[in-house]
Structure 1
């Protein structure tokens, strides 16, 4: 994501999602977080009660965890809303 201009990034993402997917649709989020943090629990809370399937995979040395989340969302705005919520968590890398 372009940290200097997040609104431009989200605008472009919205256009791409609108053009490439039929909605509602499953969407795959990927995040990287430090394993020894409470960030995984906070991400779980953001996607709580959405029917999301969450998979965790620790890095080889166990320092980081990859969080993959597949969730069915109604439109590109819902995708962006979740990115913005997770983006408020310091130290979470969105892929």
Structure 2
């Protein structure tokens, strides 16, 4: 499954409802789920994102763009269900200047 890309939904709740349906159709929870984010290269932003994953089992990989301006952050996390995936996305969405993929 492709991760989240910018939503065409005017209402965020409609977007998350649609996402939940897709997650439940395409995933067999509980399982490892890959979250991907793009941020400006700022270690404090990475720390903010990682706080969302406190107390969860995850692995982290990040890579800077060729010009060093942006960093892609990939977090493979064990999740129990679609609701947990959505909860994580909502928490990360509250962090300024994070693009979710």
TM range, smaller chain: over 0.9
Secondary structure in 1 aligned to 2:62? strand
Aligned to 2:67: 61
Aligned residues: 95
Give yes or no for the alignment of 1:78 onto 2:78. Answer: no
Aligned to 2:3: none
Aligned to 1:34: 40
Query: What is the rounded CA distance, in whole Å, between the counterparts of 2:53 and 2:10 in structure 1?
Result: 26
TM-score by length of 1: 0.93
Give yes or no for the alignment of 1:25 onto 2:31. Answer: yes
Query: What is the rounded CA distance, in whole Å, between the counterparts of 1:72 and 1:36 in structure 2?
Result: 25
Runs of at least 4 residues of structure 1 off by over 6 A?
A: none
Deviation at 1:23, TM superposition (A): 1.1
Deviation at 1:6, TM superposition (A): 1.3
Query: What is the rounded CA distance, in whole Å, between the counterparts of 1:24 and 1:37 in structure 2?
Result: 30
Aligned to 1:90: 96
TM-score by length of 2: 0.88
Point out where structure 1 has 5 or more consecutive residues left out of the alignment: none
Point out where structure 2 has 5 or more consecutive residues left out of the alignment: 1-5
Secondary structure in 2 aligned to 1:38? helix
Aligned to 2:14: 8
